């Protein structure tokens, strides 16, 4: 199973915000912390705001911050919302045309594996992911921009 970059960035944004949950942070600061593109994070941040996980504050001193407490944000739920689908193989789709589908056990095995993967993620909250908060805060300091 492989998560999309979008899901990865969604989790990274939430982790960065949870390290300092009361502080306002900018997309540029988050991008600098991870060394990733601001453009990629803009869509992630927008959707997290629409879903009610973060709030945006406009203006000169604006930014984003968590709207919910880290312990209220379930990692499995975030992954389910962020991923476009969990069709591990083409036969997971409704319009499958696989020749062995009536006798296939692989599809059930893969579905069971997918469900176990998601169940494992549902046992974690954002608070669990940021338990080493001091170390994460040190590691996620924004990097200076090149001149």
Answer whether 65's CB lies under 8 Å from 58's CB.
Answer: no
Task: Identify the CA nearest to 76 among candidates 121, 125, 126, 123.
Answer: 121
* Cα–Cα distance for residue pair 136/11, rounded to 1 Å: 14
**∠ Cα 109 119 93 (to 5°):** 45
- pLDDT tens, per residue, the chain with 147 residues: 789 999 999 999 999 999 988 889 999 999 988 989 999 899 999 999 999 999 998 888 889 999 999 999 999 999 999 998 887 777 777 766 778 877 888 888 988 999 999 999 999 999 999 988 788 888 887 655 444
Q: What is the pLDDT of residue 86?
A: 82
Q: What is the pLDDT of residue 8?
A: 96
Task: Identify the CA nearest to 114 among candidates 140, 136, 83.
Answer: 83
Predicted TM-score of the model (pTM) = 0.85
* Cα–Cα distance for residue pair 11/73, rounded to 1 Å: 11
Task: Identify the CA nearest to 44 among candidates 69, 64, 24, 71.
Answer: 64
Domains and CATH numbers, the chain: 5-84+126-139 (1.10.10.10)
* pLDDT, tens digit, 9 for 90 and up, residues 24-60: 999 999 998 898 999 989 999 999 999 999 999 888 8
- Count CA atoms closer than 13 A to 85's CA, side-chain side: 8
Q: What is the pLDDT of residue 92?
A: 74
């Amino acid at each position: 199973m492989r998560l999309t970059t979008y899901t990865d960035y969604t989790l990274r944004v939430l982790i960065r915000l949870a390290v300092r949950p009361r502080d306002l942070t900018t997309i540029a600061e988050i991008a600098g912390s991870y060394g990733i593109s601001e453009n990629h994070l803009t869509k992630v941040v927008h959707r997290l705001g629409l879903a009610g996980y973060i709030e945006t504050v406009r203006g000169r001193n604006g930014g984003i911050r968590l709207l919910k407490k880290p312990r209220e944000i379930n990692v499995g739920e975030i992954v389910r919302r962020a991923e476009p689908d969990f069709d591990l193989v083409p036969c997971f789709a409704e319009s499958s045309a696989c020749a062995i589908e009536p006798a296939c056990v692989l599809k059930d095995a893969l579905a069971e594996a997918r469900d176990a993967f998601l169940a494992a993620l549902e046992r974690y909250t954002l608070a669990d992911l940021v338990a080493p908060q001091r170390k994460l805060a040190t590691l996620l300091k924004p990097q200076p921009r090149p001149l």
